[in-house]
Amino acid sequence: MVHADPAPAAASLLASWQIDLPAPDHVPRERVVDIRFAMGGEANDLLDPYAETDRLRAPGVPRLLFSPYGFSDKTCGTWCVSHYEDIRRVYEDNEYFSTKGVAQFQLLAGETFPSIPLGIDPPDHAKYRRFLNVHFTPVALQKLEPKVRALAVEMIEEFAHRGEVDIAHDFGRVYPVRVFLDLMGLPFAMFEQFLAWEYEILHSRDHARMGAAVTQVIAYLREFIAEKRKNPDDKLGSYIANGEIEGRPLTPDEVIGMTWFLWLGGLDTVASTISQMFRRMALDQALQQRLRDEPGLTNTAVEEFLRMQPLVNSFRLVKKDLEWDGVTLKAGDYITCLNSSGNFDPAQFPDPRTFDPARPVNRHYTFVGGIHLCLGAHLARRELRILVDEFVKRVPTFTVKPGADTTVVPGLLSIRNLPIVWTPAG
Ligand code: HEM
């Protein structure tokens, strides 16, 4: 058999992405590319918005590319890795890669405390994780399960007879946030205000508006903490406000650093996942039917929804100079892990573009990997599994409402409105 030489194809792909924008001197010019198609910023109507990322893993394409588009005022670009193995290396090698600077929106409000645990490197990271894990162990989550299930059932039954619901706005946006507020002991009365602030921070793309929202959130959370110190309860917010590590009380910066980051990480993520999950189900009736006929599939199906809809491409700060793939990464550079590509790497996932609700091994990076693996992953999975179980039991075959716009900016923004329709039983 004659194999085509991949080199010319790779060279022409690389040439098609090359772009003449400034990059640091140590970055070879031919590696400076426009690969925003893999970054998830383009609104589209596709079930598989990341299909094009396969080209990044074509044989002969350099494994480390440099995107000159900064993701904040202070950065002038980032290295990018797109192979599963390379992403794993970045997440797991804490000697060379750090989370300093990741998701530190509080800087926009002039705050200097770190996001905890995300912004903390080893060895300190482990002590914060141990402290917080108490509320996220399987036993703690098992205790929460009946409440979460009752909430899902109550909310679904409220609309099941109607034959129509905006599943993104009226359900997906509300259900996980109600679970989160209850977990933290935050008042439900703040629901709309929290989501409005969260939207400004994650989606306005305007630093002044982001900073204003962060200032208000942090002021609110500081009052909440003061109140929980006066009147403690058994919720996570109070546990942090009155927390101790290594025999000493947490400092005010540690308390707000944890409370703030949980607020940021816990509000929008499951909601975005739900809206994308329902869009896929609404467009794929055979999948819905399978989930109804084989309830045992729920766990693996949820994992597959998560794999196929990675919400973020995480980045890391390079701590020390490093030679890799024929280039030098310098201390102070950033490197982005394209989960939007790694989750579809055929070296890790057989037939990766096929949605397989029974996929037996599914170690995707939607929750990243290594020590910063999402603390809320088990809670999120549980919320999603309960939802799929209870929904398909109560709602017959559903479709997207004719004429509805299912356009989505992939990632955290997700679908704001997704009306779905069905014929109610009886
Ligand atoms: C489907 C839902 C969720 C997704 C896709 C998700 C995604 C992520 C990702 C990608 C990270 C790592 C960020 C990075 O390393 O750059 C992360 C970390 C984290 N997430 Fe989630 N998350 C979800 C739900 C939640 C929930 C519900 C909570 C809290 C109740 C939460 C709390 C956290 C925390 C505390 C971290 C930091 C962990 C550490 O640094 O050790 N997440 N999450």
DSSP letter (8 states) at residue 44:
B
Q: Give the mutation target among 121, 269, 368 for probing the ligand 1 site: most ligand atoms within 8 A of CB.
A: 269
Q: For residue 6, what pLDDT is reported?
A: 72
Here the CATH number for the domain that contains residue 31 is 1.10.630.10
Whose C-alpha lies nearest to ligand 1, atom 14?
314
Q: For residue 49, what pLDDT is reported?
A: 85
- Among 204, 357, 175, 200, which residue's Cα sits nearest to residue 266? 175
**How many other C-beta atoms lie within 10 A of the C-beta of residue 416?**
17
Inside any domain, residue 110 = yes
Yes or no: say if 412 and 264 are a contact pair by the CB < 8 Å rule: no
Give CA–CA dist 14/34, Å, rounded. Answer: 10
| 214 beta partners | none
Q: For residue 2, what pLDDT is reported?
A: 47
Helices 285-293 and 269-283, axial angle in degrees (round to 10):
100
Inside any domain, residue 1 = no
- Among 99, 27, 105, 113, which residue's Cα sits nearest to residue 317? 99
Inside any domain, residue 341 = yes
Q: Please tell me the distance between residue 31's alpha carbon and the centre of ligand 1 in angstroms.
A: 31
The set of residues, in sequence order, having a beta carbon less than 8 Å from that of 244 and lying 6+ positions away, is: 250
Phi, psi for residue 399 in degrees, rounded to 5: -135, 170
Inside any domain, residue 57 = yes
Q: Where does 137-292 show beta strands of DSSP type E?
A: 164-166, 244-245, 248-249
Inside any domain, residue 304 = yes
Q: For residue 411, what pLDDT is reported?
A: 61
- Among 282, 286, 340, which residue's Cα sits nearest to residue 308? 340
Give CA–CA dist 383/411, Å, rounded. Answer: 19
Please provide the size of the chain in residues: 426
Whose C-alpha lies nearest to ligand 1, atom 42?
376
Yes or no: say if 97 and 318 are a contact pair by the CB < 8 Å rule: yes
* Tokens encoding 25: 């001197």
Q: For residue 71, what pLDDT is reported?
A: 56
Phi, psi for residue 418 in degrees, rounded to 5: -140, 85
Give CA–CA dist 118/131, Å, rounded. Answer: 14
What's the pTM value of the predicted model, to 2 decimals? 0.95
Give CA–CA dist 34/23, Å, rounded. Answer: 12
| 324 beta partners | 327
- Among 111, 53, 108, 106, which residue's Cα sits nearest to residue 84? 53
Q: For residue 1, what pLDDT is reported?
A: 45
Give CA–CA dist 10/61, Å, rounded. Answer: 5
Domain extent, residue 390, equals: 6-421
DSSP state string for 157-176: HHHHTTTEEEIIIIIITTHH
Q: Give the mutation target among 180, 186, 374 for probing the ligand 1 site: most ligand atoms within 8 A of CB.
A: 374
Residues near ligand 1 with C-beta < 6 Å?
99, 102, 117-118, 129, 180, 261-262, 265-266, 269-270, 273, 311-312, 314, 366-368, 372, 374-376, 379-380
* Tokens encoding 186: 């935050």
DSSP state string for 269-330: HHHHHHHHHHHHHHH-HHHHHHHHH-GGGHHHHHHHHHHH------EEEE-S-EEETTEEEP
Give CA–CA dist 91/35, Å, rounded. Answer: 21
Q: Please tell me the distance between residue 3's alpha carbon and the centre of ligand 1 in angstroms.
A: 43
Whose C-alpha lies nearest to ligand 1, atom 17?
374
Q: For residue 3, what pLDDT is reported?
A: 54
Q: For residue 88, what pLDDT is reported?
A: 98
Phi-psi domain of 4 (left: phi exceeds 0; alpha: psi -120 through 50; beta: other): beta
Q: Between β-strands 334-337 and 78-81, what pairing exists: parallel, antiparallel or unpaired? A: parallel
Burial, 56: exposed, middle or buried (Cβ in 10 Å; 0-12, 13-18, 19+)?
buried
Instruction: Scan for tokens 């037939």, then name that residue.
Output: 351
Inside any domain, residue 188 = yes
Give CA–CA dist 410/407, Å, rounded. Answer: 9
Whose C-alpha lies nearest to ligand 1, atom 34?
375
Q: For residue 331, what pLDDT is reported?
A: 97
Whose C-alpha lies nearest to ligand 1, atom 39?
372
The set of residues, in sequence order, having a beta carbon less than 8 Å from that of 93 and lying 6+ positions away, is: none
**How many other C-beta atoms lie within 10 A of the C-beta of residue 12?**
9
Give CA–CA dist 277/274, Å, rounded. Answer: 5
Q: Per-residue pLDDT for the chain (426 aa), expressed as one digit of tens each? A: 445 567 778 999 999 999 999 999 999 999 999 998 888 777 777 888 889 999 999 999 999 999 998 655 555 799 999 999 999 999 999 999 999 988 788 998 999 999 999 999 999 999 999 999 999 998 999 999 999 999 999 999 999 999 999 999 999 989 999 999 999 999 999 999 998 998 888 877 788 999 999 999 999 999 999 999 999 999 999 999 999 999 999 999 999 999 999 999 888 889 989 999 999 999 999 999 999 999 999 999 999 999 999 988 999 999 999 999 999 999 999 999 999 999 999 999 999 999 999 999 999 999 999 999 999 999 999 999 999 999 999 999 999 999 998 887 666 666 788 999 999 987
Q: For residue 181, what pLDDT is reported?
A: 96
> Per the structure, how many domains does the chain have?
1
Inside any domain, residue 109 = yes
Inside any domain, residue 59 = yes
